[in-house]
């Protein structure tokens, strides 16, 4: 496996995790008993994942000099 293959696999895993967090946040927002602190933690985790996904996508996208 090349570095790009490993990065793409990791990227797919991060996207799945991001989607799962999004679903968990949506479920908790509908629940009145959920603490706002728990919701904030999940949202922060989701943002961290989004940044990691963007970084990996940037690594995998070749630089094109026009």
Rounded Cα gap, residues 48 and 29, in angstroms: 20
pTM: 0.81
Identify the helix (H) or strand (E) that includes residue 3: helix 3-29
- For residue 36, the model assigns a pLDDT of 87
Nearest-5° angle of CA 46, CA 51, CA 53? 90
pLDDT > 90: what percent of the chain? 65
pLDDT (tens digit per residue) in 21-47: 999 999 888 877 778 888 999 999 999
């Amino acid at each position: 496996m090349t570095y790009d293959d490993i990065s793409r696999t990791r990227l797919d895993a991060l996207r799945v995790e991001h989607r799962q967090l999004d679903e968990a946040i949506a479920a908790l927002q509908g629940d009145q008993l959920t603490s706002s602190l728990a919701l904030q933690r999940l949202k922060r985790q989701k943002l961290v994942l989004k940044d990691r996904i963007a970084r990996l996508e940037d690594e995998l996208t070749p630089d094109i000099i026009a």
